[in-house]
Amino acid sequence: MENRVVTAVLLFISLLAIPSTAQDKESVDPRSSRMPEKEQRNSKQTIEYKIAGLRPGRDTIETAYGRFRKDRVIKDLSTPGGAVWIDPCNRQMLTVAFDPEGTIHEVSIEPYPIDADCIISSYSRTVRARLGGTGHGLVFRDSCNRIQEIYGEPQSQGRSVHGDWEFVYSFDRAVKGNSLTFELTCDAARDRVTGIKLTASRPAKPCESTGR
């Protein structure tokens, strides 16, 4: 009889412990162990594939000609294997470099010092974005803060000889097994993005890869 009483008491205690354990599990907020949303976002890099609507490593120079018109290429500034377009209203220059097969391997945006008298709508951010924007919405002359808000922490960061901030992001095997290098320059004094460049690594030729 005594053994039965002890067994019943132990069973009762174990039954009481079950809801207590479940309650403890429910009381732990699963979000408490996670990083804040902003830190989560910045802990992963956003891969950039596109500048001015062009994808280095994928698109050809014909895509650029179709988008910005071949007859508007600034021949005096272009070189063999490269084409340059200018937005005089926003004083920005787009340079597209391509290989002998016509595949684009680099797209860059930088300032171009020129004075032009344009209508008000020509200075809008939308117009700037066409020739000077990235696939994820960073636009030439945006605030420097937007760089890390969009792309997270860079692999390297430093200052140029002119005092500008320079950010470099490397995306391995991002396009057809080749890496992409994304470089940004920011005028720290004026808080403006003043340089955007995306480069796709060109695959090594057999003789280069074997060292022969």
Structure tokens at 21: 């354990």
Q: What's the pLDDT tens digit per position in 85-132?
A: 999 999 999 999 999 999 999 999 999 988 788 988 888 899 999 999
Of 91 and 43, the structure prediction assigns the larger pLDDT to 91
Q: Is 185 exposed, middle or buried, given 0-12, 13-18 or 19+ CB atoms closer than 10 A?
A: buried
Residues 103 and 13 in one domain: no
Residues 105 and 15 in one domain: no
pLDDT at 207 over 90: no
Distance CA 186, CA 144 (A): 6
Question: What mean pLDDT, rounded, does the chain reach?
Answer: 80
| pLDDT at residue 89 in the model | 92
Q: What's the pLDDT tens digit per position in 53-70?
A: 999 999 999 999 999 999
Q: 61 by DSSP, 3-state: which?
A: helix
Distance CA 94, CA 101 (A): 21
| pLDDT at residue 116 in the model | 85
Residues 92 and 171 in one domain: yes
DSSP notation for 75-110: TTT--TTEEEEEETTTTEEEEEEE-TT-BEEEEEEE
pLDDT at 184 over 70: yes
Of 19 and 175, the structure prediction assigns the larger pLDDT to 175
Residues 96 and 182 in one domain: yes
Beta bridge partners of 159: 165
Residues 177 and 86 in one domain: yes
Q: For the chain, what percent of residues have pLDDT higher than 90?
A: 58
Residue 42: closest CA among 154, 120, 185:
154
Q: What pTM value is reported for the model?
A: 0.73
Q: 212 by DSSP, 3-state: which?
A: coil
Residues 13 and 49 in one domain: no
| pLDDT at residue 115 in the model | 79
Residues 20 and 110 in one domain: no
Of 187 and 161, the structure prediction assigns the larger pLDDT to 187
Residues 20 and 54 in one domain: no
Distance CA 130, CA 199 (A): 19
| pLDDT at residue 34 in the model | 36
Residues 15 and 91 in one domain: no
Residues 6 and 58 in one domain: no
Residues 86 and 153 in one domain: yes
| pLDDT at residue 203 in the model | 55
What average pLDDT does range 126-147 have in this prediction?
Answer: 94
**What single DSSP character describes residue 118?**
-
Q: In what order do the strands lie in the sheet with 156-159?
A: 82-87, 92-98, 104-111, 192-200, 178-187, 165-175, 156-159
pLDDT at 11 over 70: no
pLDDT at 36 over 90: no
Quick check: 140 and 90 in contact, CB under 8 A?
Answer: yes
Domain carrying residue 27: 2-31
| pLDDT at residue 162 in the model | 79
Residues 79 and 163 in one domain: yes
Q: For the chain, what percent of residues have pLDDT higher than 70?
A: 73
Q: 184 by DSSP, 3-state: which?
A: strand
Overall number of domains in the chain:
2
